[in-house]
Amino acid sequence: MTGHQSIVELRLHHHKPAEAWVILHDRERPTFGSFTQPETLMHNQSAPEVHVMPEEVVGTLDFRFLRGVLVHIVGLDKDRCIAAVNRVAQFEPAKAITAGQDWLLGWKPGIGFIDLLRKQ
């Protein structure tokens, strides 16, 4: 996982981002350039991104730094995205949202999971 250290550093100084993106890489490890390095994105006025590598088990990751933050989770594998929402939810984000070609799911404190494509 990369990109989380800049959020942890921000939190240690009593600040938190309003939102963060968790990007799940399901097949290949990404290559980052000088302007796309997740740990420095906030220096360029971008929203923070946390990149989870293909070999990482989402259900074991420590997402404490996302407490109280709106979390957007993106990836190609629906099951892995749902596992990420489940894991992030354990650390009490403000909300968590994941979407794919045929799904749009959310999680809110006190409500739990919401299928945003199904009529409620």
- Residue spans of the domains in the chain: they are 4-28+38-113
| Higher per-residue confidence, 117 vs 107 | 107
pLDDT the model gives residue 120: 53
Which has the closest alpha carbon to 50: 7, 79, 15, 90? 7
> pTM score > 0.85 for this model?
yes
Classified as helix, coil or strand, 83 is helix
User: Cβ neighbours of residue 93 under 8 Å, at least 6 residues apart?
Assistant: 63, 66, 67, 68, 69, 70, 71, 107
**Model confidence over 25-52: pLDDT tens digits?**
989 998 888 888 888 888 878 889 999 9
Burial group, residue 79, by CB count within 10 angstroms (0-12, 13-18, 19+)? exposed
pLDDT digit string (tens) for 86-96? Answer: 999 999 999 99
Residue 105's H or E segment, with its range, is strand 103-108
Sign of CA dihedral 18, 23, 29, 35: negative
